[in-house]
């Protein structure tokens, strides 16, 4: 698997050019993760921790602490029995995907060798017809494909496909891709719309989005058609092999008719990712309309301020609208990751900045809260309130979250930039992208193809702690005039700012600068959210803040109340969220500087709030996001202004879930 950095760059370019935005039906096309590199003090240390600590940690748990790798050895013919949960193969695949992202960022012979070792083992476990799932090979060889609702064969195949494409994209080596294609080709032969095929769907969606990725890399149309088949078959009982699987699996009515998100949160997000891609490729307006309806239902009725989703532990998913308890919030890390994936796709499909706003909210809060700064412990669930007993763990029996984090962090640079064709270029008959879209603000550099040539993009910023963003664009060739259009997302506003960068012949660089308001604000929730009445949350930029017991010894966390007009002072603290463990493997390189917010309680006591994503990285203790607010009514009269439904409805008739606190919401003195 030996490759060179140049070959990796070439592989990334070939992938980026394989499927155009026009072909995919998207308005934007992403700049892949292997063409973007973060150098900032917020994401770069996390990416480095992911590569140097999290990768080794997850590998150790798969090889030595659990039987995940041993299962593949047994499936390949070694003595032994299956260990763990039947779908544990998927964790191995997700970790390989994370390793691929790490290799795209920087060469690493040890990680490259480990990935090759695992891939060779997976290939050895694969059966002659392409079948591969360790549980069935070892335990129940006569029951393959017998329980798609619960046993996750198609789910595991999907994660395998994502990992295989990522490894091929990052390194140019297609060994894993070829192994996976044997399995996917077997699935495509077995399931489909033809009379001699079976009609069913994955109980746990995932394969749908993975099939699209496989098509994008290989160009083999049957993978895209198979993704459409699974989307079309969802919720349609006619001809189904074993009937519908129900609303827990979003398999209760046809997907194009769905308007309310139900069931398991992660399953829903993965399904909507695949469906959004399918809607674009097939120009399916009805399917895209359903995606927009479901998006509104999630983000305007069922999403926490942190971007967490899934309020109920009983189904690891959704309940009724506006049911958003804090202490019992489920908010699985994987669900926030899934929302990030879906928001990214919706942004690419539509060119609408509102989707990138939610992507940012989930990334900076609900996702990165799911793992520690030390990179070796994880949250499965992410409540917005804790009695001091909720802590991260090194691994779980069902370890989907650690392996999901490792692949998300490795691929995060791929969410920073996109490209598109301006209206001016379209009117001139051009199809080559001429516009750079900046969706996230991360200091670093990228290689982007615009106007038929390569441009280097350099971004300088202290975001999310500072709102100043400087963007420099440098063309590879300067022998002729050119112009790059910029679309720069205005955070939280649901819109893009525009600026043109014109290059005269011989000009090697053009710059643009932007400044975004980073004033801390108190946020209130829709009065239908009972858990948040008479409470506020603090947000600054994309970061939601919380109060931890270790920062506030003078006021019991559950008794915190803010005065009507508090001063919210931002203080940059060096090394503030430092690990307490002297053996912390990241102590030498993980940046722990943090912008905290200092204020006073109604009783005059000093209060300190930290970013929610950073809680439980120090001493154990209680935590709250939503705290009491003096002057707020615990039981507002929802028939009276400003608490009426029409007061919480936007101009386009949609509910407002969260908004900044204004004086009109206080009761009169």
Give SS3 for 659: strand
Q: Is 250 exposed, middle or buried (0-12, 13-18, 19+ CB in 10 A)?
A: buried
Binned at pLDDT 50, 70 and 90, residue 24 comes out as confident
Per residue in 498-547, pLDDT (tens digit) is: 999 999 999 999 999 999 999 999 999 999 999 999 999 999 999 999 99
Question: Structural domain boundaries of the chain?
Answer: 5-24+38-415, 417-463+468-515, 521-665
Binned at pLDDT 50, 70 and 90, residue 22 comes out as low
pLDDT confidence of residue 589: 61
Which 8-state DSSP code applies to residue 371? B
Q: What is the mean pLDDT of residues 222-241?
A: 97
Q: In the CATH scheme, what is the code of domain 5-24+38-415?
A: 1.50.10
Nearest to 304 by CA among 271, 265, 351, 341: 265
Per residue in 115-153, pLDDT (tens digit) is: 999 999 999 999 999 999 999 999 999 999 999 999 999
Binned at pLDDT 50, 70 and 90, residue 103 comes out as very high
Give SS3 for 489: strand
As given in the structure block, the two tokens for residue 25 are: 């039906």
Q: Phi first, then psi: give them for residue 476, nearest 5 degrees.
A: -70, -40
Per residue in 29-65, pLDDT (tens digit) is: 999 988 999 999 999 999 999 999 999 999 999 999 9
Strand-pair category, 561-562 with 627-629: parallel
Task: Enumerate the β-bridge partners of residue 469.
Answer: 461, 514
pLDDT confidence of residue 294: 98
Per residue in 419-444, pLDDT (tens digit) is: 999 999 999 999 999 999 999 999 99
Q: What is the mean pLDDT of residues 224-237?
A: 98
pLDDT confidence of residue 105: 83
Q: How many CA atoms lie within 13 A of 543 on its CB side?
A: 27
Query: What average pLDDT does the chain have?
Result: 94
pLDDT confidence of residue 106: 85
Q: Specify the DSSP element, H or E, that contains 138.
A: helix 134-138
More confidently predicted of 17 and 442: 442
Which 8-state DSSP code applies to residue 279? H
Q: What is the mean pLDDT of residues 147-174?
A: 96
**Range of lowest pLDDT (86-95, 97-106, 230-239, 635-644):** 97-106
pLDDT confidence of residue 580: 57
Task: Enumerate the β-bridge partners of residue 546.
Answer: 610
pTM assigned to the model: 0.95
pLDDT confidence of residue 198: 98
pLDDT confidence of residue 581: 64
Q: How many CA atoms lie within 13 A of 511 on its CB side?
A: 7
Instruction: Report whether pLDDT(8) > 60.
Output: no
Are 181 and 165 spatial neighbours (Cβ–Cβ below 8 Å)? Answer: no
Q: Phi first, then psi: give them for residue 115, nearest 5 degrees.
A: -60, -45
**Range of lowest pLDDT (241-255, 298-312, 396-410):** 396-410
Binned at pLDDT 50, 70 and 90, residue 587 comes out as low
CA–CA separation, 238 vs 285, rounded Å? 23
CA–CA separation, 446 vs 444, rounded Å? 7
pLDDT confidence of residue 592: 76
pLDDT confidence of residue 578: 67
Q: How many residues does the chain have?
A: 669
Instruction: Report whether pLDDT(7) > 50.
Output: no
Q: What is the mean pLDDT of residues 375-400?
A: 94
CA–CA separation, 217 vs 168, rounded Å? 9
As given in the structure block, the two tokens for residue 225 are: 């058609």
Instruction: Report whether pLDDT(590) > 90.
Output: no
pLDDT confidence of residue 158: 98
As given in the structure block, the two tokens for residue 402 are: 């650690």
CA distances from 386 to 390, 401, 612 (A): 6, 20, 12
Percentage of residues in the chain with pLDDT exceeding 70? 95
pLDDT confidence of residue 5: 34
Q: H/E/C letters for each residue in 22-79?
A: HHHCCCCEECCHHHEEECCCCHHHHHHHHHHHHHHHHHHHHHHHCCHHHHHHHHCCCC
Instruction: Report whether pLDDT(449) > 90.
Output: yes
């Amino acid at each position: 698997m030996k490759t060179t950095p140049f070959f990796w760059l070439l592989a990334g370019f070939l992938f980026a050019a394989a499927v155009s935005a026009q072909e995919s039906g998207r308005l934007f096309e992403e700049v892949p993760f292997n063409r973007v590199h973060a150098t900032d003090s917020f994401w770069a240390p996390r990416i480095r921790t992911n590569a140097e600590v999290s990768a080794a940690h997850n590998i150790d748990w798969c090889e030595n602490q659990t039987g995940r790798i041993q299962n593949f050895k047994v499936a390949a013919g070694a003595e032994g029995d299956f260990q763990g949960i039947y779908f544990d193969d998927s964790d191995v695949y997700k970790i390989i995907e994370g390793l691929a992202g790490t290799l795209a960022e920087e060469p690493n012979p040890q990680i490259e060798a480990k990935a090759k070792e695992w891939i060779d083992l997976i290939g050895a476990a694969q059966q002659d017809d392409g079948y591969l799932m360790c549980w069935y090979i070892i335990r129940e060889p006569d029951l393959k494909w017998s329980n798609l609702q619960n046993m996750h064969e198609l789910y595991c195949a999907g994660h395998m496909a994502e990992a295989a494409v990522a490894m091929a994209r990052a390194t140019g080596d297609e060994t894993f891709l070829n192994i996976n294609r044997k399995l996917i080709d077997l699935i495509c032969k077995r399931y489909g719309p033809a009379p001699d095929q079976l009609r069913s769907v994955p109980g746990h969606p995932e394969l749908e989005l993975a099939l699209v990725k496989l098509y994008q890399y290989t160009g083999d149309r049957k993978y895209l058609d198979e993704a459409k088949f699974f989307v079309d078959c969802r919720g349609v009982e006619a001809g189904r092999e074993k009937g519908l699987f129900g609303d827990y699996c979003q398999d209760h009515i046809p997907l194009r008719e769905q308007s309310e998100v139900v069931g398991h949160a992660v399953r829903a997000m993965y399904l909507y990712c695949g469906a959004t891609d399918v809607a674009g490729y097939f120009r399916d307006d009805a399917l895209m309309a359903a995606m927009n309806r479901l998006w509104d239902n999630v983000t305007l009725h069922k999403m926490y301020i942190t971007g967490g989703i899934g309020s109920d532990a009983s189904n690891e998913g959704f309940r009724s609208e506006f049911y958003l308890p804090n202490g019992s919030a489920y908010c699985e890390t994987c669900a926030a990751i899934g929302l990030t994936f879906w928001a990214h796709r919706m942004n690419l499909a539509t060119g609408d900045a509102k989707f990138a706003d939610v992507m940012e909210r989930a990334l900076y809060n609900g996702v990165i809260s799911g793992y520690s700064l030390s990179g070796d412990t994880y949250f499965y669930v992410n409540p917005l309130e804790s009695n001091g007993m909720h802590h991260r763990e090194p691994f779980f029996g069902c370890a989907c979250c650690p392996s999901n984090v490792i692949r998300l962090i490795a691929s995060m640079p791929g969410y920073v930039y996109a490209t598109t064709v301006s209206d001016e270029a379209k009117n001139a008959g051009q199809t080559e992208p001429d516009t750079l879209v900046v969706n996230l603000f991360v200091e670093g550099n990228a290689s982007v193809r615009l106007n038929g040539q390569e441009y280097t993009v350099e971004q300088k910023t202290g975001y999310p702690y500072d709102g100043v963003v400087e963007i420099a664009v440098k063309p590879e060739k300067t022998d002729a005039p050119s112009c790059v259009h910029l679309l720069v997302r205005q955070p939280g506003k649901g819109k893009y700012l525009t600026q043109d960068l014109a290059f005269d012949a011989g000009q090697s660089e053009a710059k643009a600068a932007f400044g975004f308001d980073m004033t801390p604000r108190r946020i209130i929730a829709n009065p239908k959210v009972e858990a948040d009445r008479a409470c506020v949350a603090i947000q600054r930029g994309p970061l939601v803040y919380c109060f931890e017991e270790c920062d506030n010894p003078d006021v019991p966390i559950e008794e915190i109340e803010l005065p009507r007009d508090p001063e919210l002072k931002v203080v940059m603290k060096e090394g503030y969220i430092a690990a307490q463990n002297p053996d912390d493997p990241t102590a030498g390189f993980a940046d722990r500087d943090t912008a905290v917010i200092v204020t006073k309680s109604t009783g005059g006591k000093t209060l300190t709030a930290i970013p929610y994503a950073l809680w439980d990285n120090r001493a154990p203790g209680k935590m709250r996001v939503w705290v009491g607010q003096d002057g707020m009514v615990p039981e507002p009269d929802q028939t009276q202004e400003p608490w009426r439904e029409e007061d919480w409805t936007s101009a386009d008739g949609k509910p407002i879930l969260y908004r900044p606190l204004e004086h009109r919401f206080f009761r009169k003195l």
